[in-house]
Chain A
Amino acid sequence: MASFIDFRNPPGSDRRADFQIKATSEPLWVRRLLIATVLGFFAIFLALPLLVVFEGALAKGWGAFFGYFTDRAILHSIQMTLIIAAITVPANAVFGIAAAWAITRFRFAGRAILLALIDLPLWVSPVIGGLIYVLLYGRRGYFGPWLQAHDIKIIFALPGMVMATTFVTFPFVARSLIPLMQAQGCEEEEAALTLGANGFQIFRRITLPKIRWGLFYGLILCNARAMGEFGAVCVVSAKISGMTNTMPLEIERLYTDYLFAAAFSVASALSLLALITLGLKTLAEWENRRQFEAGQRALLEQTIEAPSS
């Protein structure tokens, strides 16, 4: 369990013995060195690419930047991205909750395999993620003739792109919830059961409030990935600008058309989305930590105030 001693207060400010501080932290020069090293790493590997994107976007000025977002094809790609995310995220959320419930509240044969299978899309290359749907639903695929006969279009149309995106973002919600629900344990749910609650009541009143933040993380990560997916959607997309392109595909189209400022502008819009996602996630983490610390403090106060018996 986390210690009540807060490592983050600098020496001298929290009135602990200096010895204690020395025993549990590194000398100042080491700390400075580590921080500098990590800062350097971040600057080179993370900050610079982002800067390149924003610089490229503004290469033709702010006027042009905003102008790109009135272009029909670009607007349509934003619409496509939003539609796909709006379908994929809720679907994977429902799945994630069901999977987390099944895995953390019960023991059954094959649990480990299920866990591994849920993680699988994270490791599989997005290109394969797209390829397998073409193999299944493409005209030459296993379901191809049947789909053709019934005039149902999946690949090279919206359904195929939704499925490829679903595949890639499949594990996120489940992965956020499973460790959380496992750590939380099911005593409270069982208590509710003994008090007469049925399944949905248990879920809505007990579980959901507990996993709220974990679910939130999972949803926003799932959303960010769904909006940014390129490889898998590329393979199943018809690549018709203004009709079937999502934002990442449109970025590639603009880039290949020599329209670099436009490409980077759309890219910066997506990056902004990524930054907002991070912001929301950090907010959620702060909230979580704040609640945890408040709970700890309350516990401490209670312990202190409780009459010694």
Chain B
Amino acid sequence: MSRQSKKRHILPGFHPSLGWTVIWLTLIVLLPLAALIGKTASGGWEHFWVTVTDPQVVATYRVSFGISLIAALINGFFGFLAAWIFARYEFPGRRLLEAATDLPFALPTAVAGIALTALYSPNEWLGKYLEPLGIRIAFTPAGVLVAMIFIGFPFVVRSIQPVISELSADVEEAAACLGANRWQTLRHVVLPPLLPALLTGIIMAYGRAVGEYGSIVFISGNIPFKTEITPLMIVSKLEQHDNIGAAAIGFTMLLASLVIVLIGNKLQAWGNRFRKSA
């Protein structure tokens, strides 16, 4: 053991583990992504700019990034509620529900897409009750929203639940002793430590919904300017034999995702610091 490498290299296996990690990462992630960047660059700045600022493509950003945000916030609300009752309440079927939370995560995307379409089309299961009310879900942004809520839900629950379980009762009891009612206790004592985890969960649900393809394309109807999602634009460009355009849009999505990932990780780190001090 070399003394001069300070504390960080006390345990063995640094070089093999890091080396193997970097090799695998390069082969599977970095090299292909470099190809994406290379392909984009090969088309030149002009082509890139024209492709990613095309009004129809820009409309998809609104859908992919905008509706995902709404879905993520809705998931934040219901996910929080779900995590709360899983961690704090006892009722029949709790364990079943807890297990069911991960269903969207484990269910194949194509299956989810077909099922959602079969559910919400105007003449189907739910759709036929909603249609007379003037509510149409399939082939509208509402349908896209529903699909995005479906796939992002588990992320929020899984982010907050451990944190809620770890809350200690002492602080709440102390607050009650000092005269706070339940609502005040919740607002000022319980919720603040949960906020970072909640934010992390929301951002993760957001990132997932942005990139999703399979579950959304069936129910969205792919109406230009209304319900087209950005991944669909990529596929569309590929089918028009415009590989460079596809790469350009892919690259833009990648940049946006990278920003989301970095923010997500920063939030997680902040949340962890908060947790340790509790």
Report if A and B touch in the complex (beta carbons < 8 A). yes
User: Which residues of the other chain, A, contact B253 by a CB distance below 8 angstroms?
Assistant: 124-125, 128
The size of the chain A interface, using a CB distance under 8 A, is 107
Q: Is the CB of A23 within 8 A of B118?
A: no
Q: Is the CB of A124 within 8 A of B257?
A: yes
Partner of B29, one of A107, A117, A225: A117
Q: Is the CB of B238 within 8 A of A131?
A: yes
Q: Is the CB of A136 within 8 A of B31?
A: yes
Q: B194: CB under 8 A from chain A?
A: no
Query: With contacts A2-B168, A23-B176, A189-B11 known, is A166 near B110, CB below 8 A?
Result: no
Docked pose: A250 CA to B179 CA in angstroms: 63
Q: Is the CB of B247 within 8 A of A135?
A: yes
Q: Is the CB of A132 within 8 A of B107?
A: no
Among B8, B182, B230, B247, max chain A CB count under 10 A is at: B182
B111 — nearest CB in chain A belongs to which residue?
A: A267
User: Which residues of the other chain, B, contact A41 by a CB distance below 8 angstroms?
Assistant: 78, 81-82
Q: Is the CB of B112 within 8 A of A102?
A: no
User: Which residues of the other chain, A, contact B107 by a CB distance below 8 angstroms?
Assistant: 49-50, 228, 270-271, 274
Q: B50: CB under 8 A from chain A?
A: no
User: Which residues of the other chain, A, contact B214 by a CB distance below 8 angstroms?
Assistant: 126, 230-231, 248
Q: Is the CB of B106 within 8 A of A274?
A: yes
Docked pose: A119 CA to B265 CA in angstroms: 9
Q: Is the CB of B110 within 8 A of A120?
A: no
User: Which residues of the other chain, A, contact B257 by a CB distance below 8 angstroms?
Assistant: 120, 123-124
A40 — nearest CB in chain B belongs to which residue?
A: B78
Q: Is the CB of A39 within 8 A of B84?
A: no
User: Which residues of the other chain, A, contact B169 by a CB distance below 8 angstroms?
Assistant: 3, 5, 7, 20, 24
Q: Is the CB of B31 within 8 A of A123?
A: no
A53 — nearest CB in chain B belongs to which residue?
A: B115
Contact residues of A between 35 and 58, Cβ < 8 Å to B: 35, 37-39, 41-42, 44-50, 52-53, 56
Q: Is the CB of A135 within 8 A of B11?
A: no
Q: How far is the CB of B152 from chain A (nearest CB, A)?
A: 11
Q: How far is the CB of B113 from chain A (nearest CB, A)?
A: 8
Docked pose: A49 CA to B113 CA in angstroms: 9
Contact residues of B between 96 and 137, Cβ < 8 Å to A: 97-112, 114-116, 118-119, 125-126
Docked pose: A255 CA to B98 CA in angstroms: 31
Contact residues of B between 214 and 248, Cβ < 8 Å to A: 214, 230-231, 234-235, 238, 243, 246-247
Contact residues of A between 216 and 274, Cβ < 8 Å to B: 221, 224-225, 227-231, 235, 247-248, 251-252, 255, 263-264, 267, 270-271, 273-274
Q: A308: CB under 8 A from chain B?
A: no
Surface stretch bound by B, among A70-78, A278-286, A297-305: A278-286
Contact residues of B between 200 and 215, Cβ < 8 Å to A: 204, 207-208, 210-214
A19 — nearest CB in chain B belongs to which residue?
A: B176
Query: With contacts A2-B168, A41-B78, A123-B208 known, is A163 near B28, CB below 8 A?
Result: yes
Query: With contacts A23-B173, A45-B146, A221-B106 known, is A124 near B254, CB below 8 A?
Result: yes
Q: Is the CB of A227 within 8 A of B108?
A: yes
B93 — nearest CB in chain A belongs to which residue?
A: A39
Docked pose: A105 CA to B97 CA in angstroms: 36
Q: Is the CB of A49 within 8 A of B150?
A: yes
Docked pose: A255 CA to B273 CA in angstroms: 49
A220 — nearest CB in chain B belongs to which residue?
A: B106
Among B21, B25, B170, B176, max chain A CB count under 10 A is at: B21
Q: Is the CB of A38 within 8 A of B81?
A: yes
Q: A22: CB under 8 A from chain B?
A: yes
User: Which residues of the other chain, B, contact A105 by a CB distance below 8 angstroms?
Assistant: 11, 13-14, 17
Docked pose: A163 CA to B27 CA in angstroms: 10
Docked pose: A186 CA to B150 CA in angstroms: 38
Docked pose: A38 CA to B111 CA in angstroms: 24
Q: Is the CB of B125 within 8 A of A48?
A: yes
Query: With contacts A105-B11, A116-B265 known, is A167 near B213, CB below 8 A?
Result: no
Docked pose: A235 CA to B235 CA in angstroms: 9
Partner of A46, one of B104, B250, B265: B104
Docked pose: A291 CA to B260 CA in angstroms: 36
Query: With contacts A46-B103, A116-B258, A224-B106 known, is A255 near B114, CB below 8 A?
Result: yes
Q: B90: CB under 8 A from chain A?
A: yes
Q: Is the CB of A127 within 8 A of B99?
A: no
Q: B30: CB under 8 A from chain A?
A: yes
Query: With contacts A127-B234, A135-B32 known, is A98 near B108, CB below 8 A?
Result: no
10 contacts between A and B (CB under 8 A): A1-B168, A20-B169, A31-B85, A31-B89, A49-B119, A123-B260, A123-B261, A128-B234, A135-B38, A199-B13
Extra contacts besides A132-B32, A281-B99 (12): CB < 8 Å? A39-B97, A41-B82, A49-B112, A123-B211, A123-B260, A125-B231, A126-B214, A135-B36, A163-B28, A189-B11, A251-B110, A278-B100
Closest 10 CB pairs of A and B: A228-B108, A23-B176, A125-B211, A132-B32, A274-B106, A199-B12, A49-B115, A8-B90, A123-B257, A123-B207
Interface residues of A (CB under 8 A from B): 1-3, 5, 7-10, 19-20, 22-27, 31, 34-35, 37-39, 41-42, 44-50, 52-53, 56, 94-95, 98-99, 101-102, 105-108, 112, 114-128, 131-133, 135-136, 140-142, 163, 166-167, 170, 186, 189-190, 193, 198-199, 202-203, 221, 224-225, 227-231, 235, 247-248, 251-252, 255, 263-264, 267, 270-271, 273-275, 277-279, 281-282
